[in-house]
Structure 1
Amino acid sequence: MKKVGVECRNIRLSYGNTEVLKDINISIAPGEFFALLGPSGSGKSTLLRLIAGFNQHQHGQLLVDGRDISGVPPWDRNIGMVFQNYALWPHMTVWDNVAFGLVERKVPKAELRERVQAALELVGLADYAKRRPNHLSGGQQQRVALARTIVIEPQVLLLDEPLSNLDKKLRVQMRRELLALQRRLGITTIFVTHDQEEAMTTADRMAVLNHGVVQQLGSPANLFDFPSNRFVADFVGTMNVLEGNVRERNGGDIVLGVDGVGDLRLPVDNETLPTGRCAASFRPHTVVVEAAGAVGDARYTWLPGEILASEFLGEFTRYQIRIGTQQLTADQTHYAGLSKFPPGASVAVGIDPSQVRLLAA
């Protein structure tokens, strides 16, 4: 099967006076696993349905393999979609559910049998062909929905929150199976989710949407390490944010006067030296917590703090810490025998300047 790219060029979509998608520009490479990530109402599912042909944009172009398919009806797009609720026919067997699309396309019987059998074997359900959907687990129903979609050999596979109805353990298992299947088929895949962990563990690249606008596009690691704005920083993982004013610039460093805390000296790119008000942002796992008075690593900027609360989360303990008049979160790796800091304990908080990102306040 030929791998194809998908491109959205300046796409806008409105319902009446409500603009749902605003100048969407996304280019998805052939064979790429691409995620659309965002909160409810961000426009991600609307964009996915637009690519499928169920929604129609008023402006822009939608290209598949370089051809504008904006006016092409859904049944002529050769795009497969797996819905959140699987949409299986309850009165049909697994075999008949998977064969349905081929029957509608009037595929010869011998070819139909061969393709249905191959699709069921691909998702590990060859032994379940005679069962009905209500006799299957949630994960098995998900595999039937996938088999029914891939059996028609679509150029593009669309996944609309396909794991949201599964429990956590099964979601982890299914996203691994989903990624392995996509790699095996090499099919261009677009995956909609509001779960940043799902997006980051499966996608080659992803776009974060909010209010119908692409906030940032890139690899999961790039978005996590170098968020372009406060929304992306907060939505992709957890972020500490300390706002303040730039008080001094010296070569590649600035001194940020953090509200209620004091001065932080931070390295920045000379070409993007900020001025005025901005926010120092850093991830909880980059923060070090030591007992008050301990001699800290010179790589860190150390500030006095007080433990407000803690949560034991197994692999790590999450602390809420007051520094000055501000509060931040620190994640400390847990191992057997390590004692926790109690609420009210005085501590030294280490911030690694190399892990701080300066964002618009």
Structure 2
Amino acid sequence: MTPLKKVGVSCRHLSLSYGPVQVLKDIDLDIQPGEFFALLGPSGSGKSTLLRAIAGFNRHQGGQLLIDGRDVGGVPPHQRNVGMVFQNYALWPHMTVWDNVAFGLVERKVSRAEIKRRVQEVLEMVGLAQYAKRRPSMLSGGQQQRVALARTVVVEPQVLLLDEPLSNLDKNLRVQMREELKSLQRRLGITTIFVTHDQEEAMTTADRMAVLDKGVLQQVGTATTLFDFPANTFVAGFVGTANLLAGRIVSVNGDTLRFEAGGLGELAFPSGAMAPRVGDAAMAFRPHQVVIQPGSATVDATRVWVDGQVESSEFLGEFARYRVRVGNVAMLADQTHFSGHPLFAPGAVVKLGIEPNQVRFLAS
């Protein structure tokens, strides 16, 4: 395919309402040229609305939407030079794979020779050249998704939009297809924005992601940034799994921060450079950052240790996840599984060791 110009997409104080309901609230966002970018959030967060606004299917009422520096607020969808792959693929059932892929080029009155060249090239790119004469009903879900991608890419859009592209596939095929998606995007260099509620899908595929909740942009960054340094309790709980303990920072004196967790009591941590001020806060840390030991074990002083009792466990293959009651608080602790190592039984008295430099204090 012809090398495509890489373009950026920007939102400037973008707002959008359906009647009295404000769905997008003052969105400020910059997506870099050639970037693979994810919009991540729960149902009703506004991520699909934002994607459709970029496509031109939803009209924003406030702010600006820029593609390659050009304000496209008043530009109809077919003039924006963006391509969109819908969740249900939206293939023509009566057409062959070849005709489905060629459809957009025919509508654009591209010459027959050019259509033949571009369709053949893109079908080979997605590994479907041998299925050109089949109809969608004769293809698997993964193959149908490739057809939808090929049909969109063949018209050479400046921006590729993907709305929950893998949600209709089983788990193993989703893993395969997200790898193929990323490989295709890298080959084309096309700015790609995809919507998902699946954090694993976003974290393994996107260069960066934006987390939305209730129409508000919560945080933008790489997967590691959002996982390691969440901006607030929503991001901490949505990107990965987190222990979130509400409480209060009682004092920060010298090298020591004292945090009083509701129902747990006061804990002391190294203050660190990232510690917030005294006041209401939430303490966040990941289950895999907690060591679980028998209640009788001798423990080291490098961690903050609390006593607890196992309430339940889940064996997840690579690790076991324990729910442990500590005072009035339930904590999650992950333990890597090795053959021959028995699980802690419900009711077992244990010690939990929290790694101090992995704890994040988030302002309430």
Using the size of structure 2 for normalisation, the TM-score is 0.97
- Structure 1 residue 272 displacement after superposition: 4.9
Match of 2:204 in 1: 201
The separation in 2 between residues aligned to 1:25 and 1:141, in whole angstroms, is 35
- Structure 1 residue 297 displacement after superposition: 2.9
- Which runs of 5 or more structure 1 residues have no equivalent in the other structure? none
Decide which of 21, 25, 29 is 1:26's aligned counterpart: 29
The separation in 2 between residues aligned to 1:243 and 1:119, in whole angstroms, is 53
- Structure 1 residue 294 displacement after superposition: 1.2
Asked if residue 224 in structure 1 is aligned to residue 227 in structure 2, the reply is: yes
Asked if residue 72 in structure 1 is aligned to residue 57 in structure 2, the reply is: no
Asked if residue 147 in structure 1 is aligned to residue 143 in structure 2, the reply is: no
SS in 2 for 1:165: coil
The separation in 1 between residues aligned to 2:254 and 2:74, in whole angstroms, is 55
Match of 1:242 in 2: 245
Asked if residue 178 in structure 1 is aligned to residue 181 in structure 2, the reply is: yes
- The answer to whether the 8 Å contact 2:243/2:331 transfers is yes
- The answer to whether the 8 Å contact 2:294/2:349 transfers is yes
- Structure 1 residue 270 displacement after superposition: 4.5
Decide which of 265, 268, 275 is 2:268's aligned counterpart: 265
Decide which of 220, 233, 236 is 1:233's aligned counterpart: 236
- Structure 1 residue 261 displacement after superposition: 1.8
- The answer to whether the 8 Å contact 1:287/1:330 transfers is yes
Asked if residue 164 in structure 1 is aligned to residue 178 in structure 2, the reply is: no
Asked if residue 17 in structure 1 is aligned to residue 20 in structure 2, the reply is: yes
Match of 1:359 in 2: 362
- Structure 1 residue 328 displacement after superposition: 0.4
- The answer to whether the 8 Å contact 2:254/2:271 transfers is no
SS in 2 for 1:172: helix
Decide which of 286, 289, 297 is 1:283's aligned counterpart: 286
Match of 1:53 in 2: 56
SS in 2 for 1:20: strand
Aligned letter for 2:24? L
The separation in 2 between residues aligned to 1:200 and 1:24, in whole angstroms, is 21
Aligned letter for 2:139? L
Aligned letter for 1:53? G
The separation in 2 between residues aligned to 1:143 and 1:267, in whole angstroms, is 51
Decide which of 119, 124, 133 is 1:121's aligned counterpart: 124
The separation in 2 between residues aligned to 1:178 and 1:271, in whole angstroms, is 37
The separation in 1 between residues aligned to 2:122 and 2:73, in whole angstroms, is 30
The separation in 2 between residues aligned to 1:342 and 1:119, in whole angstroms, is 55
- The answer to whether the 8 Å contact 1:307/1:343 transfers is yes
- The answer to whether the 8 Å contact 2:276/2:361 transfers is no
Asked if residue 319 in structure 1 is aligned to residue 322 in structure 2, the reply is: yes
The separation in 2 between residues aligned to 1:335 and 1:319, in whole angstroms, is 16
The separation in 2 between residues aligned to 1:247 and 1:164, in whole angstroms, is 45
Q: Deviations over 1:202-234 (max 9, x none)?
A: 011100001110011111110011111111111
RMSD: 1.1
The separation in 1 between residues aligned to 2:204 and 2:246, in whole angstroms, is 31
The separation in 2 between residues aligned to 1:88 and 1:245, in whole angstroms, is 55
- Structure 1 residue 292 displacement after superposition: 1.1
- Structure 1 residue 244 displacement after superposition: 2.0
- Structure 1 residue 243 displacement after superposition: 2.0
Match of 1:62 in 2: 65
- Structure 1 residue 254 displacement after superposition: 1.0
Number of aligned residue pairs: 361
- Structure 1 residue 148 displacement after superposition: 0.2
The separation in 2 between residues aligned to 1:264 and 1:272, in whole angstroms, is 14
Q: Deviations over 1:320-340 (max 9, x none)?
A: 001111110011111111111
- Structure 1 residue 54 displacement after superposition: 0.4
The separation in 2 between residues aligned to 1:264 and 1:239, in whole angstroms, is 18
The separation in 2 between residues aligned to 1:225 and 1:320, in whole angstroms, is 22
- Structure 1 residue 295 displacement after superposition: 1.8
CA 1:272–1:291: 2 relative to 1, 3 Å: closer
The separation in 2 between residues aligned to 1:272 and 1:324, in whole angstroms, is 25
The separation in 2 between residues aligned to 1:129 and 1:252, in whole angstroms, is 67
Q: Deviations over 1:285-340 (max 9, x none)?
A: 10100111212232211111111100101111010001111110011111111111
Aligned letter for 2:39? L
Aligned letter for 1:37? L
- The answer to whether the 8 Å contact 2:302/2:355 transfers is yes
- The answer to whether the 8 Å contact 1:251/1:270 transfers is no
- Which runs of 5 or more structure 2 residues have no equivalent in the other structure? none
Decide which of 19, 44, 47 is 1:44's aligned counterpart: 47
**Aligned sequence identity (%):** 67
